[in-house]
Structure 1
Amino acid sequence: MTGQWQYQVRFDVNSSATAESIRRRAPGTALAQLFEILARHQAVAKCQFDAFAEYVAAAEEQGIERYPLYEWTKATIESPSKKEKYLRSFTVYVDRREVYDGEIADAVEADLRPLVGSGLIARISKYDTNPANNPQPPQQPRERR
């Protein structure tokens, strides 16, 4: 059934310096086009590492038993290699929503696509909320590396 699922756009950037500038929402000519595209869609880019860290902090404040991905997420943010990876990965929130209609996701993805060729963005991905297309939460936390 079409329209049943919501979507999310994510992108990875090529450099740690670029990632840090996006995280700080630093104005600059190199990022002007990215921020213009996001503004056009009433969107912001949220760093995946920051989102994971916020999840862990909320779980620790409110009780980890209410957060089924706590152990996995904590192990992920404590792993140096995973930290490096997720500091360069961003989720596009539109109107403060993590997931949104397919037409919105398609438009955001299409507008961001030219930035892949510019060297700013390494990769763009679009995900849906269909559980059949997404990995299920791990039964055991990943081994910390």
Structure 2
Amino acid sequence: MASAWQYQVRFDVSDSATAESVRRNDPALAQLLDILAAHRAVAKCQFDAFADYVSAAEAQGVENYPLYEWTKATIENPAKQEKYQKSFTLYVDGQEVYARAIADALERDLQPLAARGLITRLSKYDTNPANNPQPPQRSSEGG
């Protein structure tokens, strides 16, 4: 029986210069870009995703965005900003979560880049609520 859960692959890089290269799709990272293209994937910087969420909330009404205060506090915290600017989520065919087979293939193909140190952390997450932290209860502490 196939799993009902969907998956997501994320990775971190070691420094700000590499992170900026990933954000710009720098041709110097051809091996990474080729792997992503082969899987119809794009890397979205977590900081950018958080900033987009805050912008959308402010434009459309923060009452409709339950994580607004937490997310805003996170992107305004310099230590968190540095952390999340080096962290990327992979979207496949424009989707934030996808089938396990897709996530497994992405993870497998990215492993050599992790072994060489371009990627410092490679993670696969599933949508099973039992495996994921619950949304923060207090908005005063950013992620």
TM-score normalised by L of structure 1: 0.95
User: Match for 1:26: what amino acid?
Assistant: D
Partner of 2:21: 21
Secondary structure of the equivalent of 2:117?
Answer: coil
Amino-acid identity (%): 71
- Of 94, 107, 110, 1:109 maps to 107
Deviation per residue, 1:78-101 (Å, 9 max, x gap): 000000000000001000100000
Counterpart-to-counterpart distance in 2, 1:57 and 1:46: 16
Q: CA deviation at 1:5?
A: 0.5
Q: Which residue number in structure 2 is paired with residue 85 of structure 1?
A: 83
- Structure 1 residue runs of 5 or longer lacking an equivalent are none
Counterpart CA distance in 2 for 1:104 and 1:26 is 24
Q: What does the per-residue CA deviation read over 1:41-88, in whole Å, with 9 as the maximum and x for residues that have no partner?
A: 000100000000000000000000100100110000000000000000
SS of residue in 1 equivalent to 2:51: helix
- Say if 1:142 and 1:112 are closer, same or farther in 2 by CA, change over 3 A: farther
Between the aligned partners of 1:11 and 1:142, the Cα distance in structure 2 is 27
Q: What SS does structure 2 have at the residue aligned with 1:11?
A: strand
Unaligned 5+ runs, structure 2: none
Structure 2 counterpart of 1:143, one-letter code: E
Task: Sort the Cα spacing of 1:35 and 1:129 in 2 relative to 1 into closer, same or farther, 3 A.
Answer: same
Match of 1:34 in 2: 32
Letter in 2 for 1:75: A
Query: 1:98 maps to which residue?
Result: 96
Aligned AA for 2:22?
A: I
Q: 1:2: how far off?
A: 3.6
Q: In structure 2, what is the Cα distance between the partners aligned to 1:73 and 1:138?
A: 10
Helix, strand or coil: the match of 2:120?
A: strand
**CA distance, structure 2, for counterparts of residue 19 and residue 132 of structure 1:** 31
Runs of 4+ in 1 over 4 A off after TM superposition: none
